[in-house]
């Protein structure tokens, strides 16, 4: 990544960020002066710094567990740096790939005695977050990433839901990269995206109305035909009784021995013959009348199915068109050999907290030499260029070199055609040996943790509830474009809740299969 400011001098950022930061700094200085050990630790603590230029919108944050430092980057390089305090031994902050999923200016912990966590920016729903807090100069939290109070306050309004947060076990920095597999957007596709979204949205609404009408017609036809079986059974029973009475009259007539008996038998046969004929006529007429109703039921049912299919296609196309105006995030896992795509819908989560992320693409991907590690690499589109996008890569786990990792992956062309032409800055491609964490759900971007790094910060936290995924059949819900359904955890998803036994972290997770949302 192009960073023309790496030699910038550190500045007194606390002076600009207000009294809370000054109070915290004063307390830390006093503590360091009282204890030699504290002084030694304090001396190693990174200083806050602000790049001496106009900062743009932050695109990513990188937390270094090794250096106990967080650095925020915009499209041109680093813009803010500060010391942090990550999880202490046994409560380690998990290293991996995250994104901001919720923000709360004045958060109180529901887990740690109502502890104050000001300017909280959540990155997992089981409790890991960035927030203001005391910094003793070393890892000391229960798993969160504490930042200086003033720094956290100054930062709060600059970030946004979905912003990438990378937690690295070592010092990692973005590096510029180019590769044929990275998105190359088409300006004409981006320019046409708004009008295309409007057109497809109108078509989806029309298809939805047609589907609703077809469904209603099928329901009416089914209701009209619902009484036919009972009516036909009744007429069949009447005909059977009349036929039995006629047979009895025939038998009586055949057995008559006298003229008087024969006369009575003939009279009985005449009555039963008429009755049987009437019953047969009524049954035949009812069957003839029932057939058009049965045909109507079948026809309206087929029409409703066809209309529902057209609606689903129209809604999916409209959903894609609406999301084309959002940065796209791709995750490729060597563990599952799948490719996943997510984009923020900016729809509030129906159960409160955070926003809903679209999850309508999950497809197999081909990886050459899949038995060999890829590493974990985060490729990010930093800005537009004359020819497309300028990309950077951050590597947080060594496996293969970043370019080689891209070379080894064959991505379905239809997926690239679907998401590549309208790719925007802040789009990303993550390649990892890891499966997605079980913390990845309907209101997160991708969450993946490095399985070979300690994750003690997850120990005391309960598993997240089964994921409620945004479907692309959402015009049933007031035309907002996104409906919801519950689904179980993917058995291939990386568990997020280790339990420590004999010095090792043992994992548990749901064993129920996930209802996949294939597109």
State the DSSP string of 125-189: TTS-EEEE----SS--BSSSEEE-HHHHHHHHTT--TT-EEEEESS----EEE--TTS----HHH
Q: What are phi and psi of 339, to 5 degrees?
A: -115, 135
On whether both 128 and 210 belong to a single domain, the answer is no
On whether both 68 and 147 belong to a single domain, the answer is yes
CATH number of the domain enclosing 112: 2.40.440.10
On whether both 248 and 318 belong to a single domain, the answer is yes
The residue among 279, 296, 324 that closes a domain is: 324
Residues whose CB is less than 8 angstroms from the CB of residue 54 and which lie 6 or more positions away in sequence, other chains included: none
| Residues designated as active site | 131, 144
On whether both 101 and 218 belong to a single domain, the answer is no
The residue among 270, 295, 324 that closes a domain is: 324
How remote is the C-alpha of 253 from its chain's centroid? 81
- Flag whether 80 is in a domain: yes
Confidence at residue 268, expressed as pLDDT on a 0 to 100 scale:
87
Residues whose CB is less than 8 angstroms from the CB of residue 309 and which lie 6 or more positions away in sequence, other chains included: none
- Flag whether 301 is in a domain: yes
On whether both 248 and 204 belong to a single domain, the answer is yes
The residue among 324, 352, 370 that closes a domain is: 324
On whether both 132 and 199 belong to a single domain, the answer is no
On whether both 62 and 164 belong to a single domain, the answer is yes
374, 333 contact by CB (below 8 A): no
Element (H, E) at 250: helix 228-255
d(CA 196, CA 204): 12
On whether both 318 and 384 belong to a single domain, the answer is no
How many domains in the chain?
Answer: 3
On whether both 391 and 316 belong to a single domain, the answer is no
- Flag whether 159 is in a domain: yes
d(CA 477, CA 482): 7
Domain residues for the domain of 126 are 49-174
Residues whose CB is less than 8 angstroms from the CB of residue 271 and which lie 6 or more positions away in sequence, other chains included: 249
97, 448 contact by CB (below 8 A): yes
On whether both 208 and 274 belong to a single domain, the answer is yes
On whether both 236 and 345 belong to a single domain, the answer is no
d(CA 57, CA 70): 16
pTM of the model: 0.71
User: Per-residue pLDDT for the chain (519 aa), expressed as one digit of tens each?
Assistant: 433 333 333 333 333 333 444 333 333 333 333 343 343 344 456 789 999 999 999 999 999 999 999 999 999 999 999 999 999 999 999 999 999 999 888 655 656 555 667 899 999 988 899 999 999 999 999 889 999 999 999 999 999 999 999 999 999 999 999 999 999 999 999 999 999 999 999 999 999 999 999 999 999 988 888 887 888 788 889 889 988 988 998 888 888 888 888 888 888 889 888 988 988 888 888 788 778 888 888 999 999 999 999 999 999 899 889 999 999 999 999 999 999 999 999 999 887 778 999 988 999 999 999 999 999 999 999 999 998 999 999 999 999 999 999 999 999 999 999 999 999 999 999 999 999 998 899 989 999 999 999 888 875 444 445 444 434 443 333 343 433 333 434 434 555 444 333 333 332 233 333 332 222
On whether both 263 and 232 belong to a single domain, the answer is yes
């Amino acid at each position: 990544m192009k960073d023309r400011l790496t030699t910038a001098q550190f500045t007194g950022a606390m002076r600009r960020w207000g009294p809370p930061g000054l109070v915290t700094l004063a307390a830390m200085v006093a503590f360091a002066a009282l204890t030699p050990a504290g002084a030694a630790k304090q001396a190693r603590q990174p200083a806050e710094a602000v790049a001496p230029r106009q900062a743009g919108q932050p695109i990513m944050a990188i937390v270094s567990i090794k250096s106990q430092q967080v650095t925020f980057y915009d499209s041109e390089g680093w813009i803010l740096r500060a010391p942090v305090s990550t999880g202490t031994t046994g409560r380690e902050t998990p290293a991996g790939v995250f994104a901001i999923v919720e923000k709360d200016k004045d958060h109180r912990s529901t887990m740690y005695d109502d502890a104050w966590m000001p300017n909280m920016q959540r990155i997992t729903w089981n409790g890991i977050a960035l927030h203001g807090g005391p910094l003793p100069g070393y890892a000391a939290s229960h798993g969160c990433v504490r930042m200086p109070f003033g720094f956290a306050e100054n930062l709060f309004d600059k970030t946004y839901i979905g912003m990438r947060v990378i937690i690295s076990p070592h010092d990692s920095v973005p590096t510029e990269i180019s590769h044929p597999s990275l998105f190359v957007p088409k300006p004409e596709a981006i320019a046409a995206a708004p009008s295309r979204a409007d057109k497809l949205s109108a078509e989806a609404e029309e298809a939805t109305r047609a589907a609703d009408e077809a469904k209603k017609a099928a329901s009416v036809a089914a209701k009209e035909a619902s009484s036919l079986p009972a009516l036909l059974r009744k007429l069949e029973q009447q005909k059977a009784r009349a036929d039995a009475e006629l047979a009895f009259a025939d038998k009586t007539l055949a057995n008559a021995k006298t003229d008087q008996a024969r006369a009575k038998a003939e009279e009985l046969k005449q009555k039963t013959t008429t009755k049987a004929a009437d019953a047969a006529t009524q049954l035949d007429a009812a069957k003839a009348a029932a057939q058009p109703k049965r045909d109507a039921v079948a026809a309206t049912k087929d029409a409703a199915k066809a209309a529902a299919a057209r609606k689903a296609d129209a809604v999916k196309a409209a959903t894609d068109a609406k999301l084309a105006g959002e940065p796209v995030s791709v995750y490729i896992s060597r563990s599952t050999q799948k490719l996943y795509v997510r984009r923020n819908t900016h729809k509030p989560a129906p159960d409160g907290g955070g926003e809903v992320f679209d999850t309508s693409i999950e497809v197999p991907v081909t990886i050459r030499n899949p038995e060999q590690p890829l590493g974990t690499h985060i490729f990010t589109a930093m800005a537009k260029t004359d020819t497309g996008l300028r990309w950077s890569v951050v590597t947080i786990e060594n496996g293969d070199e970043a370019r080689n990792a891209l070379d080894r992956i064959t991505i379905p062309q239809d997926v690239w055609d679907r998401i590549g032409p309208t790719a925007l800055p802040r789009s990303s491609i993550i390649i990892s040996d890891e499966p997605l964490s079980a913390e990845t759900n309907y209101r997160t971007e991708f969450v993946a943790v490095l399985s070979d790094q300690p994750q003690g910060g997850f120990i005391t936290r309960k598993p997240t509830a089964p994921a409620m995924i945004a479907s692309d059949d959402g015009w049933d819900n007031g035309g907002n474009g996104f409906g919801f359904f519950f689904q179980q955890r993917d058995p291939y998803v990386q568990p997020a809740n280790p339990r420590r036994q004999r010095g090792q972290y043992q994992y548990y997770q749901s064993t129920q299969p996930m209802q996949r949302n294939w597109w």
